[in-house]
Amino acid sequence: MTITRQDTDAVRALEGLLQGLADDHSSVRLRAALEVGTTPGPCFVDRLVERCAVEPEFFVRDMLTWALTRHPVSMTLPRLLREVRSEGVQARSQALHTLSKIGDRRAWPAITPALLSDADDEVARSAWRAAVVLVPEGEEGALATVLATQLGRGGRETRLSLSRALVALGDVIAPALLAAAKDPEPRVRTHALATQRLLRDPDAGFEAAIEEAKRVVALDGSGQEGR
């Protein structure tokens, strides 16, 4: 078989893109990820997933995820499902994020309780978002019960992410929130009450909902002390 100049140029272009994904300059990596997404091919999938696990720049990671969504699910899904079991925190988080963007419910079995309660907040947040997208019809209530075990966890962004995930499931979360609102831990009760408020009024701001819930919990505590 004769190798033409076009073939040689294509190989060089491919090598250039693969090298670009690991370039020292974020602008080059961003451009390479854009080009890979524009001209997807089987040879890129592993490299994209590998890069997601170590890429330090948010905007580049976002482009890497977009590039993966441009490839056939038959190529990306098996690789991403292996990645969610990785020991690397960013590898798990970014794989879950990408699965949420792809939205193929065949990935649902990978969203385990261990991931939903992962010790790393970023992994857990990514798992919550993915779970809401991937949960099969009829299993929303069971998912809400698992998610409710994380109420009160972390800082503002983590708590906001969990509230948004729960509210996205709809009224099915009401029993889980009702139970959590009676938890002995004030932080859990506060988060549960704030999420209840957001469920009733999606336009209510998270900060306002939290402040209102804190007042309710404080008054409830005062009442208990007085009895």
Residues 183-200 pLDDT 10s: 999 999 999 999 999 999
Instruction: Note whether 94 and 162 are same-domain residues.
Output: no
Instruction: Note whether 130 and 153 are same-domain residues.
Output: no
Instruction: Note whether 163 and 123 are same-domain residues.
Output: no
Higher per-residue confidence, 1 vs 187:
187
The count of domains in the chain is: 2
Among 134, 149, 179, the domain-final residue is 134
Residue 186, domain member (yes or no)? yes
Q: What is the pLDDT of residue 60?
A: 97
Instruction: Note whether 148 and 220 are same-domain residues.
Output: yes
Give the CATH number for residue 39: 1.25.10.10
Of 112, 97, 42, 29, nearest in space to 70 by CA = 42
**Is it the case that residue 71 has pLDDT exceeding 80?**
yes
Residue 26, domain member (yes or no)? yes
Instruction: Note whether 178 and 204 are same-domain residues.
Output: yes
Residue 122, domain member (yes or no)? yes
Residue 107, domain member (yes or no)? yes
Q: How far is CA 18 from the centre of its chain?
A: 26
Q: What is the pLDDT of residue 17?
A: 86
Domain residue limits at 199: 141-227
Res. 73 pLDDT band, cuts 50 70 90: very high
Among 114, 134, 154, the domain-final residue is 134
Q: What is the pLDDT of residue 225?
A: 37
Among 134, 151, 179, the domain-final residue is 134
Q: How far is CA 95 from the centre of its chain?
A: 8
Q: What is the pLDDT of residue 226?
A: 35
pTM strictly above 0.75? yes
Q: CB of 102 within 8 A of CB of 69? A: yes
HEC readout, 65-85: HHHHHCCCHHHHHHHHHHHCC
Residue 4, domain member (yes or no)? no
Instruction: Note whether 34 and 118 are same-domain residues.
Output: yes
HEC readout, the chain: CCCCHHHHHHHHHHHHHHHHCCCCCHHHHHHHHHHHHHCCCHHHHHHHHHHHCCCCCHHHHHHHHHHHHCCCHHHHHHHHHHHCCCCCHHHHHHHHHHHHHHCCHHHHHHCCHHHHCCCCHHHHHHHHHHHHHHCCCCCHHHHHHHHHCCCCCCCHHHHHHHHHHHHHHHHHHHHHHHHHCCCCCHHHHHHHHHHHHHHHCCCCCHHHHHHHHHHHHHHHHHHHHHC
Give whole-number Cα distances, 79 to 39, 45, 106, 194, in Å: 19, 8, 13, 38
Instruction: Note whether 123 and 223 are same-domain residues.
Output: no
